[in-house]
Amino acid sequence: MNNVYQKNKKETSTINTLFENINYWNKLKKQVNNKSYIVVYNASGSNLKAAVIDNDNQKVIIGSENYYYSTDSENEAYYLSAILNDPNLSKNIKLIKSSRHIHKRPFMFPIPLYNKSDPLHKQLAKTGKKCELLVYDLVMNNPSINSEKVKMFLHQKLKKIQNLTEQVFFT
């Protein structure tokens, strides 16, 4: 495979091996030590979408079109996922980005570190987990469902996330 890659790569490319290409910016190798939970979100698109992956049951490699954060705390993972799924955060990111690319812009906002003693943080994590279960059920029972319909079903839960996120940010 490496020979095929080397034969077909552009002459201007400074990446000499297939592994260097796959491991671009060391994104493959640095994932070897991921923790128990991974929060993954899209690098581009109109709206920010995040999910939690349980990395203990299956080892996952996150592609270069996504960003991720890993933690050993399930509640921290769902807390961050809920904040990243807050429609207000997507709306605010749209105001500061110049293209469809989200990249690390969510972290330009003052997202407080997860505090396991803070009841608001725990409530946000719990709501994030409930939303995940709801989405899982929706997708498993309706494989052709699109993201707009999912948002419609989650409308009330997303409003709750918005409310909790505002309280977390401004208290």
**Residue 86 φ/ψ, nearest 5 degrees:** -65, 120
Mean pLDDT value of segment 113-140:
96
> Do residue 81 and residue 29 come from a single domain?
no
> Do residue 25 and residue 86 come from a single domain?
no
Least confident of 21-35, 39-53, 94-108, 140-154: 21-35
> Do residue 78 and residue 160 come from a single domain?
yes
Kindly report whether the global pTM for this prediction surpasses the value 0.85: no
> Do residue 88 and residue 166 come from a single domain?
yes
As a whole number of angstroms, the distance between CA 163 and CA 167 comes to: 6
What is the rounded average pLDDT for all residues in the chain? 89
Q: What b/e string do you get for 49-67 counting C-beta neighbours within 10 Å, with b at 16 or more?
A: bbbbbebeeeeeebeeebb
Q: Total domain count for the chain?
A: 2
Q: Is residue 53 part of a domain?
A: no
> Do residue 24 and residue 82 come from a single domain?
no
Q: Is residue 68 part of a domain?
A: no
Q: Is residue 39 part of a domain?
A: no
pLDDT tens by residue, 28-84 = 666 656 789 999 999 888 889 999 999 887 778 787 788 899 999 999 999 999 999
Q: The domain containing residue 87 runs over which residues?
A: 74-170
Length of the chain: 171
- 53 with 47: CB under 8 angstroms? no
Q: What pLDDT is stored for residue 128 in this prediction?
A: 96
> Do residue 26 and residue 88 come from a single domain?
no
Higher pLDDT, 23 or 168: 168
Q: What pLDDT is stored for residue 102 in this prediction?
A: 82
Q: What pLDDT is stored for residue 162 in this prediction?
A: 94
> Do residue 26 and residue 92 come from a single domain?
no
Q: Is residue 44 part of a domain?
A: no
